Structure 1
């Protein structure tokens, strides 16, 4: 592989930046300075930038507290994205395991491990998600029973899967669902004649949003949190 390609894959440097770094004698291969960014290197070669060894990063698993106004996308021409909140190399290689609407806050998981992400998002895997919702109207006393039976949504051929509704206050609830239809939580409450004013995701599977993370902050998952997705 060419040196400029290899270095750009594991850093935030473009190939043009790598060429400049090589000319400035900042790159070594097996402890020898290499100034030609087009030089071919082997997988076994030790490449260093400014004396620091470069290597392909292992799978990354990140918990982010998504604030309002950010879209769950890698690129967007009109709004900032959740990737804009990350200060990580090669963040464009990360993808989002479970998206949130621009006006929804809370737990977002990002990873470059495709199989791990699939176990969260695939309908064939049972991965519950828990939300706090602040509603426009008082919730009915029979709402929990209706959610447990499944809700008929507009333009859907099947009821939603049984969901668990916990009434916290007159118009504040905690809802746990096991699927991810389009705008599902908002549509479920709309089907009961109510409207969601505020929506916040607290949990995905067994992974809880860290209470110490302020909106916009993130941290890497622990080994136990990673292993909980199976």
Structure 2
């Protein structure tokens, strides 16, 4: 099968969209960056998008909610920290990937799957899927921070401000922040831009899916059919 056809089956994207991913160097086949959609691949090949395994619909697909602890990375391999896949005592756990990553020191809700198309729907910027974080700050929140976040914050090294975000103040040093995108270290950078520092960060919700209050840190459970259909 051609690689661009495989990408279409996994991600539901067009051949031209597949070409964009290939030209950006985001697709690897057996550890080598693939540049051509005409490359022929088979079921033995390991095909990754940004280190996430791509599996075509019709194969055994898995969907999990993980309560991520500190100290684990959402990548499948890291020289300094264990991967979240090590928390899954399951056959072929190394084929799972996070549908939206958290930093190594951030806790909370992570969606884990081997379904590349579903993962793409969760993380696609077009979906503007909201994420809700509980944030503990080093300094009391300023009175005008909510208005600043609602207008959008221009982060360092960025040319466009963030999308409008909603801030709910719980205590002077604890807030709930809702964002609709997923820039690199976005929450920490937003508070740094207004002169504060994030001491602890916990993701509580992705879209309409809320972290199960009965799920201990470090544990996971399968998503229900209704939860899977939310994305």
Distance 1:57 1:88, change over 3 A: farther
Q: TM-score, normalised by structure 1?
A: 0.74
Aligned counterpart, 1:128: 130
Equivalent residue in structure 1 for 2:109, among 104, 107, 110? 107
User: Equivalent residue for 2:61?
Assistant: 59
2:210 matched residue in structure 1: 208
Unaligned runs of 5+ in 1: 1-55
Matched residue of 1:154: which SS? coil
Give the drift of 1:57. Answer: 6.0
Give the drift of 1:58: 2.5
Q: What are the ranges of 5 or more consecutive residues in structure 2 without an aligned counterpart? A: 1-57
Alignment RMSD, CA only?
1.1
Instruction: Please list, as runs of the form range in 1=range in 2, the aligned pairs for 1:75-224 lying within 5 A after superposition.
Output: 75-224=77-226
Number of residues paired by the alignment?
Answer: 174
User: Following TM superposition, by how much is the alpha carbon of 1:194 offset from its aligned partner in structure 2, in angstroms?
Assistant: 0.1
Preserved CA contact (<8 Å) 2:86 2:93: no
Runs (4+) of structure 1 exceeding 3 A deviation are: none
Deviations 1:108-161 (A, max 9, x none): 111111111001111111211000000000001111111110001111100000
| Residues 70, 105 of structure 2: 8 Å contact kept | yes
| Alpha-carbon distance between aligned partners in 2 of 1:163 and 1:78, rounded to the nearest angstrom | 33
**TM-score, structure 2 as length reference:** 0.74
CA distance, structure 1, for counterparts of residue 69 and residue 220 of structure 2: 11
